[in-house]
């Protein structure tokens, strides 16, 4: 078995230097690689400590993609070359055919890496937006203008779409593309509505490192992907894009049943469409009642002037947990916690209304588009509750 090799992934256009090697990874002719950020020594050490490069890779592994590590210790999804090719082929089939991609995400994460791999599979060099110092919609405009592929695609996270929607030029650039994949986190309904109204062809994606990225588009599984629900509503995913397991964890329960990956997400099926309700471990127990954060987040996001939000349970001596919210407002908007609580209460009832509201400039993140709920909880605990 070949050893797992560290693959430093640079930001900006320097990532294009990796295309020949990634082409070999996709063909299954390269030694297995572990993508890590080239310019972040701390993260590189963290991933290396957890995933043991320099030791033999599990059979059939082309790439080990680190999860975002919500528990603090990342796991490594064992992705085979056939799974990566199947993901690219199924994506292009759903979108209308191969084309040129715009990379606007860090390429050491699954969403960004898949943009590069899809580009390799399609035979087109990707356009690149350097996001190493943050996402600037103006750079997006120039990158889109440089694209010349027969079809043109990009992949964004909701926080990037929120910023882009404040720039008319960025909106026009995105509207000129054949599709804009939007994933990594739930897209607030008002953000989606604004994007669609502006003529942007948004495709909402659901998936994770363990499924080679997005494998369900607008609620419908890609060709070959299978979805089932357990009795408690937990989502299971199967099909040709599935990882072979986790690095160094042959008995992990998420892959206990052959051909299936057991997620931590709760969902429901409406016909052939999957709706994600939230993570199983995010439910808030408050005053003897259970509150689902995703439902409260949707209610808050529907308030005029709200750009983004996250809802978490905060320890409370009387209620066990109280509903807390970090809220980002659109530029120039002012709202009070009392107004927000009343608006949610009108829609969902008083039990779901956040007892603690903190307005912030940005939500804490733990990866592209993924809100760090633990950090949000820590922030709210550190602040006095607003009763």
Asked if the model's pLDDT at residue 243 lies above 90, the reply is yes
> In this predicted model, what pLDDT tens digit does every residue of 125-144 receive, in sequence order?
999 999 988 899 999 999 99
Fold of 5-276: Rossmann fold (3.40.50)
- 326 beta partners: 310, 358
Question: In CATH terms, are 5-276 and 283-382 the same topology?
Answer: no
pLDDT band at 328 (very low <50, low <70, confident <90, very high): very high
Structure tokens at 90: 């199924």
CA distance 318 to 354: 15
Phi-psi region of 35 (alpha: psi -120 to 50; beta: other; left: phi over 0): beta
Pair 81, 240: CB distance under 8 Å: no
> In this predicted model, what pLDDT tens digit does every residue of 216-234 receive, in sequence order?
999 999 999 999 999 989 9
pLDDT band at 294 (very low <50, low <70, confident <90, very high): confident
> In this predicted model, what pLDDT tens digit does every residue of 18-32 receive, in sequence order?
999 999 999 999 999
* Weakest-pLDDT range from 308-312, 318-322, 364-368: 364-368
Top pLDDT among 332 and 386 is at: 332
pLDDT band at 387 (very low <50, low <70, confident <90, very high): very low
CA distance 6 to 38: 10
pLDDT band at 59 (very low <50, low <70, confident <90, very high): very high
pLDDT band at 260 (very low <50, low <70, confident <90, very high): very high
Asked if the model's pLDDT at residue 385 lies above 70, the reply is no
Q: State the average pLDDT for the chain.
A: 92
Q: What is the pLDDT of residue 70?
A: 44
CA distances to 65, 71, 112 from 75, rounded to whole Å, are 8, 10, 18
Pair 284, 294: CB distance under 8 Å: no
* CATH architecture, domain 283-382: 2-Layer Sandwich (3.30)
User: How much is the average pLDDT of 105-112?
Assistant: 94
Asked if the model's pLDDT at residue 379 lies above 80, the reply is yes
Determine phi and psi for 5, rounding to 5 degrees.
Answer: -115, 135
Between helix 337-348 and helix 293-301 the angle, nearest 10°, is 120
185 C-beta neighbours (distance < 10 Å), count: 18
Domain boundaries, given as residue ranges, for the chain: 5-276, 283-382
- Using DSSP bridges, classify how beta strands 127-128 and 100-103 pair: parallel, antiparallel or unpaired: parallel
Q: What is the pLDDT of residue 68?
A: 63
User: How much is the average pLDDT of 98-111?
Assistant: 95
Top pLDDT among 271 and 82 is at: 82
Top pLDDT among 317 and 66 is at: 66
- Using DSSP bridges, classify how beta strands 100-103 and 152-156 pair: parallel, antiparallel or unpaired: parallel
């Amino acid at each position: 078995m070949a050893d797992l090799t560290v693959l430093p992934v640079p930001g900006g256009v320097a990532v294009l230097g990796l295309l020949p090697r990634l082409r070999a990874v996709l063909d299954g002719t390269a030694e297995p690689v572990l993508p890590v950020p080239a310019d972040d020594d701390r993260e590189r050490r963290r991933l290396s400590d957890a995933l043991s490069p320099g030791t033999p890779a599990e059979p059939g592994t082309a790439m080990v993609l680190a999860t975002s590590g919500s528990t603090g210790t990342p796991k490594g999804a064992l992705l085979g070359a056939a799974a990566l090719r199947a993901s690219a082929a199924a994506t292009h089939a759903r979108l209308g055919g191969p084309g040129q991609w715009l990379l606007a995400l860090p390429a050491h994460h699954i969403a960004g890496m898949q943009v590069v791999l899809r580009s390799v599979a399609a035979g087109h060099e990707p356009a690149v937006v350097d996001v190493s110092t943050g996402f600037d919609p103006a750079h997006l405009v120039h990158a889109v203008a440089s694209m010349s592929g027969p079809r043109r695609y990009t992949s964004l996270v909701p926080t990037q779409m929120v910023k882009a929607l404040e720039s008319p030029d960025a909106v026009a650039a995105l509207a000129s593309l054949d599709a804009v994949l939007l994933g990594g986190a739930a897209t607030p309904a008002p953000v989606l509505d604004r994007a669609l109204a502006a003529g942007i062809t948004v495709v909402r994606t659901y998936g994770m490192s363990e499924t080679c990225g997005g494998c369900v588009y607008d609620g419908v599984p890609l060709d070959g992907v299978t979805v089932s629900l357990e009795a408690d509503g937990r989502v299971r995913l199967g099909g040709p894009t599935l990882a072979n397991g986790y690095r160094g964890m042959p008995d992990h329960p998420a892959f206990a049943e052959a051909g299936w990956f057991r997620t931590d997400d709760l969902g429901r099926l409406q016909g052939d469409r999957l709706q994600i309700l939230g993570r199983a471990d995010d439910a808030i127990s408050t005053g003897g009642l259970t509150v689902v954060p995703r439902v409260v987040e949707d209610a808050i996001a529907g308030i005029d002037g709200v750009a983004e939000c996250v809802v978490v349970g905060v320890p409370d001596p009387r209620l066990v947990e109280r509903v807390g919210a970090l809220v980002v407002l659109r530029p120039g908007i002012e709202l009070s916690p009392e107004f927000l609580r009343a608006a949610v209460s009108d829609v969902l009832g008083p039990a779901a209304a956040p007892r603690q509201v903190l307005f912030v400039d940005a939500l804490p993140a733990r990866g592209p588009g993924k809100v760090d709920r633990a950090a949000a909880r820590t922030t709210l605990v550190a602040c006095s509750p607003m009763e």
